[in-house]
Amino acid sequence: DTEVTQTPKHLVMGMTNKKSLKCEQHMGHRAMYWYKQKAKKPPELMFVYSYEKLSINESVPSRFSPECPNSSLLNLHLHALQPEDSALYLCASSQDPQGIELFFGEGSRLTVL
């Protein structure tokens, strides 16, 4: 069983919808990450939170809005997405902000119609 839990596992949304992806970890890790993965491609880093503060934004469009309410939770708010944003969104955590070893959740499969 993964120790990084993501909900929902599947999400279908229209381009005008607002939805959120949620991630939770209880390993006491102080860094949390959002990755995006398209089919047959490697995971691509989107955001990094270190000690609950946004430390890296990989030039992600503003229609993706991350939020870290506390050290265990990470959200990704979605608004006005495009069909090309359809992908597997992976949350990960690491003990330290250097991110030597990341623990990934199972991902949220997003489809934008």
13 is an interface residue for other proteins by CB under 8 A: no
90, 93, 110, 112: residue in contact with other proteins (rule CB under 8 A)? 90
Write out the H or E segment, with its range, that includes residue 13. Answer: strand 10-13
Please, which residue, 50 or 85, has the CB nearer to other proteins?
Answer: 50
- Show contacts with other proteins in window 92-111 (CB under 8 A): 92, 98-107, 109
CB 43 within 8 A of CB 111: no
| Distance (Å) of CA 101 to CA 30, 33, 35, 93, 106 | 12, 12, 15, 8, 16
Residues near other proteins (CB under 8 A) are: 2, 4, 6, 40-43, 45, 48, 56, 90, 92, 98-107, 109
